[in-house]
Amino acid sequence: MPAPRTHAGAGETPAGGRPTALDAVAREAVDAAMARGADAADARVVRVSTERLALRNGAVAEASAPEEFGIGVRVFKDGAVGFAAAPGTHRTLPDVAPGVARRAFSVARDLAPLRRRPVRPAGAATAVGSYATPVEEDPFQVPLEEKLDLLRRADQGLGGRREIVSRFGLIDLRREEQWMATSEGGATHQVLVRSGGRIEAISSAGGVVERRSHPQALDGDFRSGGFEVVRSLGLVEEAERVRDEAIALCYAAPCPGGERTLILGGAQLALQIHESVGHPLELDRILGMERDLAGGSFASHARGDLDGELEYGSEHVTLVADSTLAGGLDTRGWDDDGVPSSRFDLVREGRLVASQSGRVSAGLAGQDASTACSRAEGWYAPAIDRITNVSLAPGAGSLDDLIATSEDGTIFADTVKTWSIDQERRNFQFTCEVAWEIRGGKRARLLRLPTYQGNSLDFWRSCDGVAGPEEWRPWGVVNCGKGNPMQIAEMSHGAAPARFRRVRMVGLGGGRGAS
């Protein structure tokens, strides 16, 4: 008897096959827009199936299996862009799609007189083909009992100490299937699967409340792939360590302030990359198209910053954008403009050389083609420029080597606790979950609330070492908010631990402000 499961598992696509019905729906929507007089159009039919299982304090706090299915149509008309979207299913979408296309056309037509400079998408979306995430173990086929048992065992590891006031474990699985058609003849089909989770312990002792997470804070750690990703996270194996570190943090001294050498672990570096490299190098931000909410960027297109003129970091800093990265959350065949995925340097040995763009922003910037970084949340949102998988290239040696060659008083910190960065991505302040002070080339006392503050360019310029490939791994981000109205996107950031000199640590010992 097959194990019970929440979703159809293999979804809409028979293994090795390619359905045509929803290809046709997307095509008909594009044709309907073009028949109205659109200059160009594209349509995406998207079906997203998710399964989330969470235990809080040993009880099932969340057991949900949402599904989203619908169509979004984008129309270019007289230099303006319009978008419309509606939900549907296999049965209803054929009837829904033409109306959605007409509404998208109306939006573009009505707004065209307001455009002071026409939108002309760069390049063309002519790709035809299929892409599927490599999956070893279909996450929706794994028995639910097995998933819950994994979470229960992790919960047991987190418990057993009175200082732990909250235990949490999560498994989160997602499968997105997308059929896209463009008026330039593009027709693509993608099946994107990602899996992940996390555990967390919150401790309270001596008037201090602390949190420790594994393998990553916030929503957890994720990679593209199947249930093999969840099995690799060590949710059970690391639970007791997480519990013990959460408790120890309550009794640890606050991290002192002052200028220090700082070594960041990969989990924290992923956020650092995300906020101070990923976002400022989105071309729509650079062009001012995001200024109304998220802000702009210190990088200037007009000033030539993207042509190698800007010293972004030290010679140890090479940052690679790669939507073909194995295990990356933004690893796919094509972006939501229908442009093929690619790998390219954003920062090469410290010099800024490129940005992340979609067809619209690249067109406005006078570029010939985009870098395939345009994505939308589901079927119901218009595509915007997005951070793809952006990684810090590994250097050499190990974390222990970095620590051993650092002076007394160096701080090794990891795992994001909180973060903030200004609207042009200059001034940031990040707090980690945990830190150790380095003494005699080794980790010494545990410290809580390690908080560092800086300027993005100064910070990357102060990097004097990145650990090697053996320490490098991608970290998944599943909560990237951008746009107005806000959309959520997912991407990965590969990193090995790295060292930064003369970093300003902010002392937060009093709990009522900074020192």
Partner 1 sequence: MGAAFPAKLRPAARARCGRRRPRAPRWEGTLALLEQDHAFEIADALISESDADETEVSIHCVEDRFVRFAADGPTQAADRERYALRVRARYSVPQDAGGGFREASASAGDLDEESAFAALDRASLLASLADPDPGAAPLGGSAPVEPTAPSRPTQDHTVREKGAWISAALDAAEEAELDASGLARSGVACAALVNSAGRRVFGATSRASFELSCADRGADAETLGGAAAGASVAPFVDQVSVDGTVADVVEAAVQSRAPEAFDPEPTDVVLAPAAVAALLTFAAGAGFGAREFSEGSSFLTGRVGDAVLDPRVTVRDDVTDARIRGLRFDGEGQPRERVSLVEGGVLGRPVTDRTWASRLGLPNTGHGAPQPSARGPLADALVMEARDRSVEELCADVGDGLFVRQLHYVNLIEPKELVLTGMTRGGTFRIEDGRVGAPVRNLRFTQSLVRALQDVIGVGDTALRQGSLMGQDVVVPALAVRGFAFTSA
Question: Cβ of residue 282: shortest distance to partner 1, in angstroms?
Answer: 13
Q: Does 91 bind partner 1 (CB under 8 A)?
A: yes
Binding to partner 1 by CB under 8 A, coded x per residue (else -) over 193-232, reads ---------x-x--x-x-----------------------
Contact 215, 165 (CB under 8 A): no
From 265, 276, 214, 270, select the one nearest 453 (Cα to Cα): 276
Question: Cβ of residue 404: shortest distance to partner 1, in angstroms?
Answer: 31
CA atoms of 374 and 360, how far apart (whole Å): 9
Task: Identify which of residues 141 and 427 has a Cβ nearer to partner 1 in the complex.
Answer: 427
Question: Cβ of residue 198: shortest distance to partner 1, in angstroms?
Answer: 12
Q: Hey, which residues between 412 and 441 contact partner 1 (CB under 8 A)?
A: 417-424, 426-427, 429, 431
Task: Identify which of residues 195 and 391 has a Cβ nearer to partner 1 in the complex.
Answer: 195
**The one among 192, 236, 255, 364 contacting partner 1 by CB under 8 A:** 364
Torsion-angle region of residue 61: left (phi > 0), alpha (psi -120 to 50) or beta?
A: alpha
Question: Cβ of residue 468: shortest distance to partner 1, in angstroms?
Answer: 32
**The one among 32, 107, 365, 392 contacting partner 1 by CB under 8 A:** 107
Question: Cβ of residue 407: shortest distance to partner 1, in angstroms?
Answer: 24
- What is the β-pairing status of strands 187-205 and 128-132? parallel
Spatial neighbors of 20 by CB under 8 A, at least 6 apart, are none
Strand partners, 199: 169, 214
Cis peptide before 485 (omega within 30 of 0): yes
Q: Hey, which residues between 137 and 196 contact partner 1 (CB under 8 A)?
A: 144-145, 148, 152, 165-166, 168, 170
Matching residue, tokens 């792939």: 225
Q: Hey, which residues between 372 and 401 contact partner 1 (CB under 8 A)?
A: 380-382, 384
**The one among 23, 68, 184, 311 contacting partner 1 by CB under 8 A:** 68
What secondary structure does DSSP assign to 178-229, as a single string? Answer: EEEEETTS-EEEEEEEEEEEEEEEEEEETTEEEEEEES-STT-EEEESSHHH
Q: Does 113 bind partner 1 (CB under 8 A)?
A: yes
Question: Cβ of residue 166: shortest distance to partner 1, in angstroms?
Answer: 5
Q: Does 102 bind partner 1 (CB under 8 A)?
A: yes
Q: Does 104 bind partner 1 (CB under 8 A)?
A: yes
> H-type helices in 303-369, by residue range?
359-364
Q: Degrees (nearest 5) of the Cα angle 230, 16, 187?
A: 100
CA atoms of 476 and 404, how far apart (whole Å): 29
Q: Does 295 bind partner 1 (CB under 8 A)?
A: yes
Task: Identify which of residues 64 and 126 has a Cβ nearer to partner 1 in the complex.
Answer: 64
